[in-house]
Structure 1
Amino acid sequence: MDLDPELAALGALGGFFVLRTGVPPRGPLPTLAQAYTTPQVRAHGDAYADPMTFRVRKVARSIHAPEARIAVSVAQQGLAARLWSIALGAAALYGRVPDLDPELLCWDPDGSAPDDLWLTRVRALPATAVDEVVRAGHLAPLATVLHSRYHVSARLLWGNAGSALAGTVRQIDRWARANGRPEAGERARTLAAGLFAHPDLSGALDAGTLRRRSCCLYYRLPGGGLCGDCCFDRPPRRATHPS
């Protein structure tokens, strides 16, 4: 089954899997290629001149993050979940993956969650290209720019990517079981196993429990708790210093 021009089948899997195609009707949007670069002149508040900084600031405001790195973590994990969902969802349902070249993938950094993405041209690649398309094509340059700008550890960022990948597989598997498509779930699990073998992701989760080996920092938000796959059993206490 080849890809259809609108990738319509992905909608059945849920909102994180939807990928709109063509030219955004409200006008041009920055590409993810732009988001992965550092602008020479940073325009504060300009979603087009510096989309990544704009997105981090928007997320920080919306979740009342007391530290920039928490917003960075939340923003990066959300984008990782979208990218894994689109690629693995397509591989599971179509047996093919859309080329998600960062130059072809438009992103609205001012959008709500899930991240608003548009693919300007649909080109089919083999299902085995998921690693090249997502990890190498997006998550590696995303981790580089976020580490460079915000000094967030690579271990945390790849932990987020691993957690998002495991969550994507679970959702596809649930859908496959409920809809009599066991081959779709099996395809997703097989591809994910290969993805987790890469050094970037191999240490992200405990192989037996699928619990993270790093923390996404969500517990540091006002009212935040622990995620279901958190490496902690209870939120760590902040160190206190005598006055």
Structure 2
Amino acid sequence: MDLDPDLAPDAGAEAGAGLDPALAALRPLGGFFVLRTAAGAPVAPAEPPPTLAEVYDGTAPGADGDPLAFRIGKVAAALRAPEPRTAASVAHLGLAARLWSTALGCAALYGRIPDLDPRLLRWDAGAGAPDDLWLTEVRPLPADAATLAGTVLGGHLEPLAAALRDRHRLARGLLWGNAASALAGAARELDRWARAGGRTDTAARARALTAELLADPRLRGTGTLTGTAFRRRSCCLYYRVPGAGVCGDCCFTRPPTG
């Protein structure tokens, strides 16, 4: 699939000249990659959802002020999860995948990433999948691995993991395994899309950044990357959902028993 010429970043953008305000180059990738911005959706909702900063620190406004618990309950109901910690892990994996997809997609396509500061990202916990995120201001940042790690791992996945560990006793290894799995999944989809469109430069950037990010101390040892295939050393607990099997990158080859 080729990028629509009207949406493709120009050569200057690929070299790191900047981001367009609507992040339009992400649109052909769809799903987990697309990020709503003020330029792409200029009419703000009457009651904007909370920022992820408010979600992480427990200060989100509203009737219950706990969109994270609401999201986990929504996932649990949709999956018929037998225990909250399974739904919490799946919810964590979904949000991690959204954050990595947007950041890695921009890095590979633009040579810049948007500042995804949790205070700039609003999250609708009641929306369907993939998670609905709205970036209130597009501020370009460098697209090197260190900036990506600081933005996604430090800015989001560390405080999110802390909140989930406190509430649901999820193991650190499971949560960092989820983070690595989400990154590898985003990279694999971006690589597939780029190669199908003959964009070997985009695919190469995505693969190189992913390898560097998986060497970060927080992700190192979470699994093995072979080409674009990833095998994690932990399990996200999805196998506990009634009728579910194991994920494609799971450490198990079949659902555990007992």
TM superposition score normalised by structure 1: 0.92
SS state of the match for residue 36, structure 1?
Answer: helix
Contact 1:3–1:96 under 8 Å retained in 2: yes
Corresponding residue for 1:186? 204
Aligned-partner residue type, residue 122 of structure 1: V
Q: Give the counterpart of 1:127 among 129, 143, 149.
A: 143
Q: Distance in 2 between matches of 1:192 and 1:136?
A: 16
- Which aligned pairs between 1:87-236 and structure 2 lie closer than 5 A? 87-128=103-144, 129-208=147-226, 210-236=230-256
Q: Distance in 2 between matches of 1:24 and 1:191?
A: 34
TM superposition score normalised by structure 2: 0.87
Are 1:72 and 2:88 matched, yes or no? Answer: yes
Residue 207 of structure 1: how far off its partner (Å): 4.1
Runs of 4+ in 1 over 2 A off after TM superposition: 23-27, 206-210
Q: Give the counterpart of 1:62 among 78, 89, 99.
A: 78
Residue 24 of structure 1: how far off its partner (Å): 3.4
Q: Distance in 1 between matches of 2:19 and 2:59?
A: 35
Residue 199 of structure 1: how far off its partner (Å): 1.5
Q: Distance in 2 between matches of 1:61 and 1:234?
A: 24
Distance 1:177 1:207, change over 3 A: closer
RMSD: 1.7
Q: Distance in 1 between matches of 2:153 and 2:241?
A: 28
The count of corresponding residues between Structure 1 and Structure 2 is 234
Consecutive unaligned residues of structure 2, counting only runs of 5 or more, are: 1-12
Aligned-partner residue type, residue 221 of structure 1: V
Corresponding residue for 2:45? 25
Q: Distance in 2 between matches of 1:101 and 1:39?
A: 16
SS state of the match for residue 222, structure 1?
Answer: coil
Identity of aligned residues (%): 60
Residue 159 of structure 1: how far off its partner (Å): 0.5
Aligned-partner residue type, residue 88 of structure 2: V
